[in-house]
């Protein structure tokens, strides 16, 4: 009987021409590091549960679910090849997706980027100032940018929302704050032709590189560790705190419904207390 590691080599060889082969190799490689020495027919639910638990230390539930899909496909192919009778992932309960992200305070944001490489600081700042998704950030091109109008334009077909409702949504325009524009111009690796964001030493910026550096940069947070998508949640919360209406937030973020925009706008308690104080000051001024 082949081991999981031996079968993974053959499986990845078959997938060599796929556009997502890099992600497959990375995720399956991590899966193999945990259970690779087991024969295919010896992999049990408990082994997979341990692998999932290890990933949940660094990734959100939705991300872990996505990573599980690659390993599930590989094990399903082992079923189709006749090595095992059932896919062990069929018995695994997938992590339940969170309905709300984590809001980062201004001090936490500063701590995350303090003394970090310029390319990483630029990526964090731009994400938290514009609300672009991680997958959007690494694929931003100079053609998306209109610096004179201070606008970043995304083809709706290239965005998450566009894939869900391609026929009903228009192109998405994202206004740029002063801080976002500063982030675009600070990195010595940035180019006005081609990709807007580059990784270490000017290399191609990958989502895995962002994740790895973000995990290391948030090690000081001993409680709930943030993930990259929390930058988008933080941006949405700050937009709501600034008094911008939900419809504008929806258009800015590229969400398909107002309900989605409302889900992301969890106002921190300290901001609510400050608002109550301002209400009291209004009464005093009017007296």
Q: Output the six-digit token pair for 91.
A: 């018995």
pLDDT score for 188: 39
* Domain CATH code at residue 87: 1.10.150.130
Contact 198, 204 (CB under 8 A): yes
Task: Of 62, 76, 61, give the one whose Cα is nearest residue 28.
Answer: 76
Same domain, 136 and 237: yes
Q: How far apart are CA 48 and CA 54, in angstroms?
A: 10
Flag whether 279 is in a domain.
Answer: no
For the chain, where are the E strands, in sequence order? 145-146, 151-154, 172-175
Q: How far apart are CA 224 and CA 127, in angstroms?
A: 20
Q: What are phi and psi of 174, to 5 degrees?
A: -115, 115
What is the widest separation between alpha-carbon atoms in the chain?
85
Same domain, 154 and 251: yes
Q: How far apart are CA 224 and CA 33, in angstroms?
A: 26
Please report, in tens digits, the pLDDT of each residue of the chain (287 residues total). Answer: 899 999 999 999 999 988 889 888 999 999 999 998 999 999 999 999 999 888 888 887 778 888 888 999 999 999 999 999 999 999 888 766 554 578 888 999 999 999 999 999 999 999 999 999 988 999 998 888 888 888 998 875 545 554 444 444 457 889 999 999 999 875 434 555 688 999 998 889 988 899 889 988 988 776 677 888 889 989 988 888 888 888 888 888 887 778 777 766 566 666 566 666 666 676 677 65
Flag whether 284 is in a domain.
Answer: no
Flag whether 173 is in a domain.
Answer: yes
* Domain CATH code at residue 243: 1.10.443.10
Give tens-digit pLDDT for 195-207: 899 999 888 998 8
Q: Output the six-digit token pair for 93.
A: 């309960």
pLDDT score for 117: 93
Q: What's 228's DSSP letter?
A: T
Contact 220, 111 (CB under 8 A): yes
Q: How does DSSP assign 177-210, residue by residue? A: -HHHHHHHHH-TT--SSSBS-B-GGGPBP-HHHH
- Give how many domains the chain has, as a whole number: 2
**What's the sign of the alpha-carbon dihedral 136, 140, 143, 144?**
positive
Q: HSE of 125 in the Cβ direction (CA atoms, 13 Å)?
A: 24
Q: Give the residue numbers spanning the domain of 116.
A: 106-271
Give tens-digit pLDDT for 128-187: 999 999 889 999 988 888 888 889 988 755 455 544 444 444 578 899 999 999 998 754
pLDDT score for 65: 84
């Amino acid at each position: 009987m082949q081991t999981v590691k031996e079968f993974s080599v053959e499986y990845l060889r078959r997938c060599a021409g796929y556009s997502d082969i890099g992600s497959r190799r990375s995720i399956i490689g991590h899966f193999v590091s945990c259970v690779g020495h087991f024969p295919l027919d010896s992999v049990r639910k408990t082994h997979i549960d341990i692998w999932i638990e290890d990933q949940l230390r660094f990734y959100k539930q939705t991300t872990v679910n996505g990573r599980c899909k690659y390993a599930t496909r590989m094990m399903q192919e082992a079923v189709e090849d006749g090595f095992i009778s059932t896919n062990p992932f069929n018995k695994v309960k997938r992590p339940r997706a969170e309905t709300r992200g984590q809001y980062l305070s201004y001090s936490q944001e500063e701590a995350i980027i303090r003394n970090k490489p310029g390319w990483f600081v630029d990526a964090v700042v731009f994400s938290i100032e514009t609300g672009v998704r991680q997958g959007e950030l690494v694929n931003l091109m100079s053609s998306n940018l209109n610096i004179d109008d201070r606008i970043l334009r995304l083809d709706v077909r290239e965005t998450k929302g566009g894939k869900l409702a391609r026929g009903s949504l228009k192109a998405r325009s994202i206004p740029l704050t002063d801080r976002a524009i500063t982030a675009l111009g600070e990195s010595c690796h940035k180019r006005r032709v081609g990709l807007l964001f580059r990784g270490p030493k000017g290399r191609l910026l990958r989502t895995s590189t962002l994740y790895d550096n973000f995990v290391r940069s948030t090690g000081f947070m001993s409680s709930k560790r943030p993930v990259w998508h929390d930058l988008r949640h933080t941006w949405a919360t700050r937009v709501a705190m600034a008094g911008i209406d939900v419809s504008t937030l929806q258009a800015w973020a590229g969400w398909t419904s107002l309900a989605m925009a409302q889900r992301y706008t969890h106002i921190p308690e300290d901001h609510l207390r400050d608002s109550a104080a301002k209400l009291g000051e209004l009464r005093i001024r009017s007296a």
